[in-house]
């Protein structure tokens, strides 16, 4: 029993230290993060930071993680006592035609239209990367959230898990069921902070190379 108590104490201490490191590095890298964010991502991170702060919430932005032999880059991860929210941000104008089952969605503008990857499918890879690091959490504790931060208007039914910026705030505020203790939350923050790759141009270049390689393998 004594040894078990020592182990629990060490785990708790490790979580606290990791959380402290995460807070310190988040503050240290915040200016660097904004350099790598587009307008929509900056808007989402600012909105979340203004509405969901410590001690119950910890926000990661521009989080690059290893996944198998490659990497995946996540716009935002909000870790909280109420769940871990993996957030993919889109900043689009015009009309959006979306089907959750299709690989691509369509954006229509006055001068034409373009196809883009289904962000729900895109975010599944991000959820997988986070889940592999936080495998001690129940599956339902890690949720996918897709946010359209621009002025886009959906001309089809909005798929489940897709929100405007204001809808995202309401959704997160509505998630009040506690799924982990504050100590477990701090441990999650420490784990993600320890495993994230550096916020740098080199990391982004390497990530783009991985993406191109994955595309070639699919062709």
User: Residue 114 to residues 119, 143, 145, 149, 193: CA-CA distances in angstroms?
Assistant: 14, 28, 23, 18, 36
Which residues of the chain form beta strands (DSSP E)? 57-67, 70-80, 83-90, 95-97, 104-109, 112-117, 142-148, 153-154, 162-164
For 167-215, write each residue's pLDDT tens digit. Answer: 999 999 999 999 999 999 999 999 999 999 976 544 444 434 444 444 4
CA distance 127 to 219: 24
Query: What pTM does this model have?
Result: 0.79
Q: Domain ranges in the chain? A: 2-218
CA distance 45 to 78: 10
CA distance 192 to 180: 16
Region 30-58: mean pLDDT is 83
If one compares 20 and 151, the residue with the highest pLDDT of the two is 151
Region 126-139: mean pLDDT is 95
Q: What is the DSSP letter of 196?
A: P
Check residue 88 and give its pLDDT.
97
Region 151-164: mean pLDDT is 96
Pairing of the two strands 95-97 and 153-154: parallel
């Amino acid at each position: 029993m004594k040894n078990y108590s020592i182990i629990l104490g060490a785990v708790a201490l490790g979580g606290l230290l990791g959380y402290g490191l995460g807070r310190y590095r988040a503050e240290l890298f915040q200016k660097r993060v904004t350099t790598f964010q587009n307008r929509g991502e900056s808007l989402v991170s600012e909105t979340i930071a203004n509405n969901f702060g410590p001690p119950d919430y910890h926000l990661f932005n521009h989080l690059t993680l290893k996944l198998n032999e490659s990497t995946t880059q996540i716009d935002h991860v909000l870790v909280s006592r109420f769940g871990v929210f993996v957030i993919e941000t889109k900043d689009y104008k015009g009309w959006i035609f979306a089907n959750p089952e299709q690989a691509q969605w369509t954006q229509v503008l006055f001068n034409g239209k373009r196809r883009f990857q289904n962000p729900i499918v895109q975010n599944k890879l991000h959820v997988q990367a986070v889940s592999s690091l936080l495998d001690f959490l129940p599956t339902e504790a890690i949720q996918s959230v897709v946010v359209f931060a621009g002025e886009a208007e959906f001309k089809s039914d909005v798929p489940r898990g897709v929100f405007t910026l204001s809808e995202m705030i309401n959704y997160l505020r509505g998630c009040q069921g506690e799924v982990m203790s504050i100590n477990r939350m701090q441990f999650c923050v420490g784990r993600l902070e320890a495993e994230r790759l550096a916020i740098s141009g080199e990391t982004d270049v390497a990530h783009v190379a991985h993406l191109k390689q994955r595309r070639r393998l699919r062709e």
